[in-house]
Amino acid sequence: MINCKACSCKFSVLASQRAHELTGWAAGIAAAAWVIRQGAVGPYHLWMLATVIAGYFGGTAPDWLEQIPWRKNKRWCTHRTITHWVPGWVALLYAANAGLGTYWFCAPLFGFAAGGLIHLLIDWPNPLGVPILWSRHSLKLWKSGHADSFVVAVCWFAAIWIADKLLFGSLHFYRALAFFDWS
């Protein structure tokens, strides 16, 4: 168990890791819906499945990319610097999107980039923030790991909403709205 630096509570760091994994899956699902929309699912929907899985890995990537693989708990760069650079992940998403339907690997790459961007979005509200352009910026809303349930719920809701919009023209969303409309 690692203590949270901000307030020395016991759960923070690990809980955040879990939140990044769960929101990575959500990003992968939303990205896969876009891949389906672009007709880039591949044989037996293989590239679509790869997109979902790559979303999971992308969701934690900004953190594990800064680790030196053969040295435990050692980083090659400062935490939340180059691997958390927003324009880098946006460029990756853009490039992967441009190659959808032409190169098979662009589908999983798109999922990976979507997962990475969600990771940055989740890191953004806590005090350390993320490097948007040159310097780090923080929304200063909560400490790392302190709003995980909320963050995960919002991301999953957004992912389902995006998938429904892209694949079914928001059919299920409107049905759900109608269900709650008793006027």
# residues contacting Zn ion (CB under 5 A): 3
Q: How far is the CB of 66 from Zn ion (least distance, A)?
A: 8
Which residues, 90 to 119, sit near Zn ion by CB under 5 A? none
DSSP state of 67: B
Planar angle of CA 43, 47, 48, nearest 5 degrees: 105
Q: How many CA atoms lie within 13 A of 10 on its CB side?
A: 1
Closest CB to Zn ion among residues 63, 148: 63
State in angstroms the smallest separation of the CB of 79 from Zn ion.
Answer: 8
**What's the DSSP call for residue 7?**
T
Between 63 and 164, name the residue whose CB sits nearer to Zn ion.
63
Judged by beta carbon, residue 150 or residue 168, the one nearer Zn ion is: 150
Phi, psi of 130 (to 5 degrees): -135, 155
Contact with Zn ion (CB under 5 A): which of 40, 55, 63, 155? 63
Task: Give the x/- contact pattern for Zn ion in 122-161, rule: CB under 5 A.
Answer: -x--------------------------------------
The tokens for 103 are 């190169």
Residue 5 CB, shortest distance to Zn ion, in Å, is 14
CB of 123 to Zn ion, least distance (A): 4
66 binds Zn ion (CB under 5 A): no
List 61's β-bridge partners, or say none. Answer: none
Mutual angle of helices 86-99 and 106-123, in 10-degree steps:
160
Helix (DSSP H) and strand (DSSP E) numbers for the chain = 6, 2
* Contact footprint for Zn ion (CB under 5 A): 62-63, 123
